[in-house]
A = this chain, B = another copy of it.
Amino acid sequence: MSAPATDSSPWAGRIHALGARVTPARVAVLQLLEHAERALSHREIEEALAAGFDRVTLYRVLDWLVDSGLGHRVTDAERVFRFSLAQAETRAHGLHAHFRCEDCGKVFCLDEVPAPAPPLPAGFSSHTVEYTITGHCARCEPDEKPR
Contacts and interface: CB of A to CB of B under 8 A. Distances in A.
B127 A134 contact: yes
Interface residues on A, range: 35 or more
B138 A124 contact: yes
A118 B124 contact: no
Interface in A53-88: 75-77, 79
B133 A128 contact: yes
Nearest to A119: B113
A123 B110 contact: no
A102 to B, nearest CB: 6
A15 interface: no
Interface of A: 75-77, 79, 97, 99, 102, 110, 113, 115-116, 118-139, 141, 144, 146
21 contacts: A75-B79, A97-B118, A99-B121, A110-B118, A120-B133, A121-B138, A122-B138, A123-B138, A123-B139, A123-B144, A124-B138, A125-B135, A126-B135, A127-B135, A128-B133, A129-B132, A129-B133, A129-B134, A130-B133, A130-B134, A131-B132
Given A125-B141, A129-B133, A131-B131, 16 more contacts: A75-B75, A99-B121, A99-B124, A110-B121, A113-B120, A116-B116, A120-B135, A121-B138, A123-B139, A123-B141, A126-B133, A126-B134, A127-B134, A128-B133, A129-B132, A130-B134
